[in-house]
Amino acid sequence: MPAPALSWPRHWLAGDRRRSLRRRLLLFLLLPLMMLLVAGAAVTYLGALAYSNRIHDRNLVDSAMALAQLLNQRPAGEKLTAQARFLLEYDPDGRNYFSIRSMRHGITTGSDDLAPSDHPPQLDRGAVLYDTRFFDRKIRVAALVMPNRYEPSDLLTVSVAETLEDRRRRAREILLLAIPTQTVLILAMFALVWFGVNHGLRELQPLTERLARREHDLAPITDADVPEEVQPLTRTIDGLFGRLRSMLNLQERFIADAAHQLRTPLAGLRVHADRLQRPQTPEETADAIGQIQRLVERASRSTSQLLALTRAQSTQVHDLADQTIDLATLIPELVGLRVQEAIAAGIDLGYEGLSQPIWMHGSPTQLQELLDNLIDNGLRYAGRGSMVTVRLSQAAGEILLSVEDNGPGVPSAYLSQLGERFFRVPGGGGDGSGLGLAIAQRIAEYHGAALRYHSGSEGGLVVELRFPAHPAEPA
């Protein structure tokens, strides 16, 4: 029988894939707390060792002074008894040593191998403490100098030493007493952190519930109940909602504009299609087909204009101003592309500009769309036999681009309405869609250009754009 396959709870696996803010916060806080426990233990041990050293040093000095007092009280020539030596050397937690060194006679009593200090004590200056090694053991020594009462010209150095085991043992005992207390404190702090993190994350619950109740509402979510630390996130979401609202509004406007522009051509197509279904003379059939072709062309142009307007409305400034363009080279090329069309329409299309480079930031594709719409407006409404002139100049840190015709022009009462969507001057003729100048207006705005309309010197219309110039020619 095959062994059962191991299976893990799905929420465990999901938890491995997802990043939990609660888990990250707790880990970021738990690890420093554990390091704090270790550091606290080390500090506690060092502090306990320093305290133990201070106490033992004091006792060691007292023992040296007691031995010196004992030497002053013993009769002349009498040596230390065995019991006295035992008491001086006995230590239940380690080992004690002592020596009495005469300046004239050397070691008189005690351990011969107890090394003197590199800085020997002075008479009436108290005891000196120092560390040395006695065979393979590290010891602590307290030494003091006293006069030899039996030889006035001689000095005695009294030294008492002990091993360090007892000092370390006392420090470890203090550490073992402190660790449980520190552990309890750390656990209590961790429990408080756990509670604080969970309680703090619950502050997001009103925002979560408010978002869960929304369906199509894209209003800003930043409100008074949003914590200050979360507001950068909510402001970013509000910005995203704002861009989404703009896109939806743009979509709705496109649908409304398309319905507005295509309603008439589609209705006309239906009428002429019905005409073709009835018996017709060849002339009537040809007329219906011609009408259908014109309506199809109008619908196609309206669709192209709507798409161009949508692109102009949705393009961001940083998407447009990503190239350095020489307008003195670009504009003549774009005008040249429309010459054959102007000749076919019976219009004289010309260009006047400078020979030196004129630099600016912008999008060549969008600038071509802008200029095509301005030239198309002149070709469509100036009338056969008229002139359309494109001019380019630079002055006072600005670039001036203008398109002027000598056609019938636009009455001054309607100049302020030029550039509005679907606006056509009453009685102006032509079969335009009323979107060309609106497209030019949007592209000019995104390039930071000021666009205005005024009457020309010969009575036609002048469309003038002022672009900010590039500060310097690129390398």
The reported pLDDT for the residue numbered 40 is 83
Highest mean pLDDT among 85-89, 94-98, 257-261: 94-98
Average the pLDDT over 403-431 and give the result: 74
Average the pLDDT over 211-217 and give the result: 73
Q: At what angle do helices 21-73 and 165-201 cross, to 10 degrees?
A: 160
Q: Is the pLDDT of residue 167 over 70?
A: yes
Percent of the chain with pLDDT over 90: 4
Kindly report which listed range (132-136, 203-207, 387-391) carries the lowest average pLDDT score.
203-207
Q: What is the CATH number of domain 317-468?
A: 3.30.565.10
The reported pLDDT for the residue numbered 256 is 63
Q: Is the pLDDT of residue 159 over 50?
A: yes
Query: CATH 3.30.565.10 region(s) of the chain?
Result: 317-468
254 or 287, which is more confident? 287
Rounded-to-integer distance, Cα 292 and Cα 283, Å: 14
Name residues whose C-beta falls within 8 Å of residue 113's C-beta, 6 or more positions apart in sequence: 134, 135
Q: Is the pLDDT of residue 56 over 80?
A: yes
**What's the whole-model pTM score?**
0.44
Average the pLDDT over 269-277 and give the result: 76
Q: Which residues of 408-447 are buried (b: 16+ CB within 10 A; e: fewer)?
A: bbbeeeebeebbebeebbeeeeeebbbbbbbbbbbbbebb
Average the pLDDT over 173-201 and give the result: 82
Q: Is the pLDDT of residue 94 over 60?
A: no
Average the pLDDT over 339-344 and give the result: 87
The reported pLDDT for the residue numbered 352 is 92
pLDDT range class, residue 41, cuts 50, 70, 90: confident
**Residue 164, token pair as written in the block:** 């360090």
Helix H or strand E segment including 70: helix 21-73
pLDDT tens for each residue of 428-454: 555 556 677 777 888 888 788 888 888
Q: What is the per-residue DSSP string for 289-344?
A: HHHHHHHHHHHHHHHHHHHHHHHHHH--HHHHS-EEEEHHHHHHHHHHTTHHHHHH
Q: Is the pLDDT of residue 136 over 70?
A: yes
Q: Is the pLDDT of residue 52 over 80?
A: yes
Q: Is the pLDDT of residue 251 over 90?
A: no
The reported pLDDT for the residue numbered 391 is 92
Mean of the per-residue pLDDT values for the chain? 76
**Residue 100, token pair as written in the block:** 């009495």
436 or 10, which is more confident? 436
The reported pLDDT for the residue numbered 10 is 45
Q: Is the pLDDT of residue 9 over 50?
A: no
242 or 454, which is more confident? 454
pLDDT range class, residue 351, cuts 50, 70, 90: very high
Q: Is the pLDDT of residue 255 over 80?
A: no
The reported pLDDT for the residue numbered 379 is 84
Percent of the chain with pLDDT over 70: 74
Average the pLDDT over 71-90 and give the result: 55
- CATH 3.50.70 for domain 228-309, yes or no, is no
Query: CATH 1.10.287 region(s) of the chain?
Result: 228-309
Kindly report which listed range (81-90, 237-246, 283-292) carries the lowest average pLDDT score.
81-90
Rounded-to-integer distance, Cα 382 and Cα 408, Å: 6
Q: Is the pLDDT of residue 17 over 60?
A: no
